[in-house]
Structures are given as C-alpha cells and as structure tokens.
C-alpha cells in the first residue's frame, strides 16, 4: 500500500526504553502519585509546592534521557521526501526533537513554562517554584506548560484537519485510555486511513486498528519503518 500522508501519535511507551516511566503500567507514575493531586488545576491550586516538585523531578529525569531507536526511526521516516509525516505526541519530554523530529506536543512540554494570567510561554528553569514571576507581565501565576486533566489539549484544530486527510495513522506506545488522543484512531479510520497500533502488548483499544504490532518500541518501530521506506 502506498501511504503518502502519515500521522503518528506517540505516548509514554515510546520513551520507556529511554528511562522515562509510563503512567499506567505496573509501577507507573499513577500508581505512585495521585493524578488528582499533581495533574489537575485543582491539585495545583491546593498545593503548588507539591505540583512543582513533581514536575521539577520529571524535568530533571527528562533532561538526562536520550532518544532511543524508535525516536530515531521516526525521524528517519519524517525526513523521507516520499512521505509527509506528522508526529503528534502526548509526551512532555523532548526526545522526538532530540532525535531530529518535529512534533506537535498536544499535552505541552516539561521544558516550557506558562503564565496563567497573560499566556506568555518561555523556557522553564530546571526548578520552578510558586512565586516565580512571569518575565512578560511580572505576576506570579506561573506554572509548567503541561496540559492537566480537565484542560484542553493543544493543537486540536490542526490535528482534526490532519486526521481527516491522513492515509496512514499509527499509534505507538499509548494505552488509549486518555481522550481526546484515544479517539484519534476512530477519527482517522472514519476518514479512510489505514490504522496501525505498535505497542508492547495489545492496548485496550487494539481492536479499533486494522493492524497491531507488538513488541518493545525500540525494536518494533525501526522494523516497521524499514518495511515502509526500506
């Protein structure tokens, strides 16, 4: 099959072999931290110290991580002029960029800070704290530029348009439990895309894909890219 337009959605599983934990696997972040306390606007309002501490630790881990063979294979695909490949990631690390890819960060980025008052964004310092001032408006309502539960993910109009015209949709290393990303496969399928899941094991929504490939991303993704572009 000839897939000119390719859309790849990645989740925490693609960065697992780079040493960054996933959320819902055994021992994952949500078994060690309360999602409500550290990943909701209400949690931040209740205890900003705790929330900043959580993201400061994750920012430190992410800063040390290196892209793995899966990130590199996707970058190779994105460079291939025979295809138009868009990467949408739910991940807040910068491992796609470190491998040379461009990616839409629908859940924001650990490396960026956001002012909740004026909307200004800037490179986050290694450690953020309550009381940090916004460099643009000087108020102290600064926060990590990550999308919390109950907030609207970024880039949705662009993603919707893309899913309506993609020939191939590939979800890599995501459990398919968080919307709207979990619904992208149905959107792409409805518009005629061939849909592939690449995951360590079949996700709970594996049945929504035409094809599933199971295995660690660092092995399965390079093999899949080789099959596609040689």
Residues with Cβ within 8 Å of 61's Cβ and at least 6 positions away in sequence, in order, are 19, 20
Q: Does the footprint of ligand APR cover residue 142 (CB under 6 A)?
A: no
Q: Does the footprint of ligand APR cover residue 96 (CB under 6 A)?
A: no
One of 69, 174, 185, 195 touching ligand APR (CB under 6 A) = 174
Minimum CB distance to ligand APR smaller for 33 or for 140: 33
Question: CA-based angle 90:93:98, to the nearest 5?
Answer: 115
* 107 counts as catalytic: yes
One of 199, 224, 225, 228 touching ligand APR (CB under 6 A) = 199
Residues with Cβ within 8 Å of 103's Cβ and at least 6 positions away in sequence, in order, are 10, 87, 88, 89, 96, 97
Q: Does the footprint of ligand APR cover residue 107 (CB under 6 A)?
A: yes
Q: Does the footprint of ligand APR cover residue 206 (CB under 6 A)?
A: no
Residue 206: name the closest of 161, 180, 172, 230 by CA: 172
Query: Looking only at residues 146 through 165 of this chain, which bind ligand APR when binding is defined by CB under 6 A?
Result: none
Q: Does the footprint of ligand APR cover residue 108 (CB under 6 A)?
A: no
Minimum CB distance to ligand APR smaller for 92 or for 228: 92
CB of 216 to ligand APR, least distance (A): 4
Contact call for residues 173 and 217 (beta carbons, < 8 A): yes
One of 8, 13, 93, 188 touching ligand APR (CB under 6 A) = 13
CB of 135 to ligand APR, least distance (A): 26
**Tokens found for residue 139:** 């108020």
Q: Which residue is nearest to ligand APR (CB)?
A: 13
Active site residues: 107
């Amino acid at each position: 099959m000839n897939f000119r337009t390719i859309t790849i959605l990645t989740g925490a599983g693609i960065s697992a072999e780079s040493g960054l934990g996933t959320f819902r696997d055994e021992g994952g972040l949500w078994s060690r931290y309360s999602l409500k306390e550290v990943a909701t606007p209400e949690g931040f309002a209740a205890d900003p110290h705790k929330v900043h501490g959580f993201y400061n630790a994750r920012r430190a881990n992410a800063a040390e991580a290196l892209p793995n063979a899966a990130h590199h294979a996707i970058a190779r695909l994105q460079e291939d002029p025979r295809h138009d490949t868009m990467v949408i990631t739910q991940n807040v690390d910068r491992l796609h960029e470190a491998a040379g890819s461009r990616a839409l960060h629908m859940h924001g980025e650990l490396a960026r800070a956001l002012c909740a008052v004026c909307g200004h964004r800037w490179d986050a310092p290694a450690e953020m704290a309550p009381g940090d001032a916004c460099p643009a408006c000087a108020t102290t309502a600064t926060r990590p530029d990550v999308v919390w539960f109950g907030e609207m993910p970024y880039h949705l109009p662009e993603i919707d348009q893309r899913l309506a015209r993609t020939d191939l949709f590939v979800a890599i290393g995501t459990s398919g439990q968080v919307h709207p990303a979990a619904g992208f496969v149905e959107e792409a399928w409805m518009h005629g895309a061939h849909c592939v899941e690449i995951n360590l094991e079949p996700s709970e929504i594996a049945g929504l894909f035409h094809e599933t490939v199971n295995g660690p991303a660092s092995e399965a993704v390079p093999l899949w890219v080789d099959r596609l572009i040689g």
